[in-house]
Amino acid sequence: MDSTIDALKQDVFERNLNEPEYHQAVAEVLDSLGPVLEQHPEYLDHDIIHRLCEPERQIIFRVPWRDDRGQVHINRGYRVEFNSALGPYKGGLRFHPSVNLGIVKFLGFEQIFKNALTGLPIGGGKGGANFDPRGRSDTEIMAFCQSFMTELYRHIGEYTDVPAGDIGVGTREIGYLFGQYKRITNRFEAGAFTGKGLNWGGSLVRTEATGYGTIYFAREQLGTMGETLDGKRVSISGAGNVALYAIEKAQALGARVVTASDSSGCVYDPDGIDLELLKQVKEIERGRIRDYADRRGPRVEFHARITDVWDVPTDIALPCATQNELDGQSARALINNGVKVVAEGANMPCTPEAAQLLRAAKHVLFGPAKAVNSGGVATSALEMQQNASRDSWDFAYTESRLEEIMVSVHERVRATASRYGDPNDYVLGANIAAFTKVVDAMIAQGLV
Ligand code: NDP
């Protein structure tokens, strides 16, 4: 079976040259399919893996806009509509200078499986632009979003493709994108976007969902060892949407979170992160992580090397910033320092070497992103349900739905891992559970 999988991977790599992140995401899934392909060789009959790795549609477009000084800029926009076997394409938009087709494809590919794991009727897609929102004024952000949507609007809709936020795209950007969509289409089609503001069709808990869901998943992992979050030390990277709400929920469940970071460095706060101060610095002032250290007091350390975040002794490590931020050396440091759970809040934050080391380490439970951070998209699907029924649910009810979904994702992953190998192999369980769900639907829908 290994040689069949190697040949499939090689073929995907050759069709998609110079897209290392996409290759990495494909290899991570295909490498765990051996046990299911051995039990169900019929999956090889339909050439289903080639089809799964070829996006249904890839849209690349020009985004011209003018800055406050009147200078024209040209960015490149993307939307990869990867797989609609389970429902409309669903996945966020990322605005970051590093965005390119390979990154959008890696994110879109991951999204197919993540969405399948939630058990909700959503397909997979992703998009974005190589636009850097940092340092841009509000009018510049609006100008960019309006230009981006002037092309994207023709491809999206409640029943076709439903974007949301990701790095660099929060409620402010979704507002400008939605406003332009509404203006061009002359429709208040709330279900065409998720992550909307609360008074124009958004859902309570969507802002918190990915971070909270990450903690619920880590709590379930700890539960399999008979442990809880109470009194545990937690290391978190990032200081954006996922990280901030992971910190909030971890603290609410009694853990002490001792680190946070951004792209300019990290902080170690032995007394536990002061979340109000961190939110003030990062969310309101849009400042740098060093400002947190400067204002918090002398016991807090600032380190310019971002990976130092993984060098402190910790029980639980949650990479919540970006792809490939935790490498083999950091994984070794975590294992040597006695980490028990590593759960990926960000998408593909562990390098292949780090993931392999953590997966193989005894006494460490490694949760892959497509399961751990699926609470964000699951709550987006709850937002779509509320929009479709013209209803809005209260915080407690919506959070209870999120919690139920995370518990069931955890159970589904472990049950599948048990069936095909080791119950503690969350990578195996997540990949096989999602793969079988998606390809069964693809086969049922014929050669399309
Ligand atoms: P944000 O833009 O809100 O925050 C990203 C954070 O990561 C910022 O603190 C940013 O720092 C930091 N960061 C970016 N690049 C690096 C880097 N190279 N090294 C260290 N830190 C870095 O994004 P989100 O929190 O929304 O997303 C974080 C991750 O979670 C991404 O992988 C995203 O795809 C994933 N995710 C997000 C979901 C959501 O609902 N938001 C859902 C599922 C997954 P700086 O401010 O300096 O840029």
Distance, C-alpha 262 to centroid of its chain: 17
* Placement of tokens 């880590």 in the chain: 218
Whether 299 has a pLDDT exceeding 90, the answer reads: yes
- Pairwise CA distance, residues 397 & 406, whole Å: 14
Nearest CA to ligand 1 atom 27: 167
Residue whose CB lies within 8 A of the most ligand 1 atoms, among 21, 262, 409, for a mutation test: 262
Mean pLDDT of all residues in 358-380: 97
On the question of pLDDT at 50 being above 80, the answer is yes
Q: Which residues contact 287 (CB under 8 A, 6 or more apart)?
A: 281
Average pLDDT of the chain is 97
Query: What are the tens digits of pLDDT across the range 65-82?
Result: 999 999 999 999 999 999
Q: Ligand 1 within 6 A of 322 CB? A: yes
**Residues with Cβ < 8 Å from 11, sequence gap 6 or more?**
50
- B/e letters for 12-50, b = 16+ CB within 10 Å, e = fewer, are bbeebeebebbbbbbbbbbbbbbbbbeeeeebeeeebbe
Domain positions in the chain: 2-189, 209-367
Q: Which residues are part of the catalytic machinery?
A: 126
Give the model's pLDDT for residue 92: 98
State the pLDDT at residue 46.
80
Cβ 428 vs Cβ 422: under 8 Å: yes
Structure tokens at 439: 């390809």
> Would you tell me how many other CB atoms lie within 10 Å of the CB of residue 81?
23
Give the mutation target among 242, 247, 282, 409 for probing the ligand 1 site: most ligand atoms within 8 A of CB. 242
Pocket test for ligand 1, best of 115, 136, 166 (most atoms within 8 A of CB): 166
Residue 51 is given by DSSP the state H
For ligand 1, atom 22, the nearest C-alpha belongs to: 263
Tokens representing residue 408 in the block: 């069931």
The three-point CA angle 271-274-280 to 5° equals: 155
Average pLDDT over residues 280-299: 95
Specify the residue with its C-alpha closest to ligand 1, atom 31.
346
Summarised one tens digit per residue, pLDDT across range 162-213 is 999 999 999 999 999 999 999 999 999 999 999 999 999 999 999 999 999 9
From the CA of 325, give the closest atom in ligand 1: 19
Residue 2's pLDDT band (cuts 50, 70, 90): confident
Q: Is the CB of 168 under 6 A from ligand 1?
A: yes
Confidence of residue 220 (pLDDT cuts 50, 70, 90): very high
Distance between CA atoms of residues 151 and 59, nearest Å:
10
In the structure, what pLDDT confidence band is assigned to residue 300 with cuts at 50, 70 and 90?
A: very high
CB count in 10 Å sphere of residue 338: 12
Task: Report d(CA 221, CA 410) in Å as an integer.
Answer: 8
* 209-367 matches 2-189 in CATH topology: yes
For the residues 2-14, what does the mean pLDDT come to? Answer: 95
Does the CB atom of residue 324 touch ligand 1 within 6 A?
Answer: no
Is residue 80 within 8 A of residue 112, CB to CB? The reply is: no
Q: Which of 104, 223, 89 is nearest to 159 (CA)?
A: 89
Predicted pLDDT at 45: 84
User: Quick check: 266 pLDDT over 80?
Assistant: yes
DSSP 350: B
DSSP string, 129-152: ES---TT--HHHHHHHHHHHHHHH
One CATH from 1.20.1070.10, 3.40.50.720, 3.90.1300.10, 3.30.565.10 for 209-367: 3.40.50.720
The CATH label, of 3.30.450.20, 3.40.30.10, 3.40.50.10860, 3.30.465.10, for the domain at 2-189 is 3.40.50.10860
Three-state SS at 76 = strand
Verify whether ligand 1 is closer than 6 Å to residue 241 (CB atom): yes
Task: Map residue 369 onto helix, strand or coil.
Answer: helix
- Total Cβ atoms within 10 A of residue 334: 26
Q: Is 443 exposed, middle or buried (0-12, 13-18, 19+ CB in 10 A)?
A: middle
Task: Please write the tens of the pLDDT for every residue from 200-211.
Answer: 999 999 999 999
Beta partners for residue 60, in sequence order = 78
Q: List, as one string, the DSSP characters of 236-287.
A: EE--SHHHHHHHHHHHHTT-EE-EEEETTEEEE-TT---HHHHHIIIIIS--
Residue 305's pLDDT band, with cuts at 50, 70 and 90, is very high
Does residue 239 carry a pLDDT above 80? yes
Ligand 1 pocket, residue 210 CB under 6 Å: yes
Q: For residue 116, give the nearest of 366, 424, 440 by alpha carbon.
A: 440
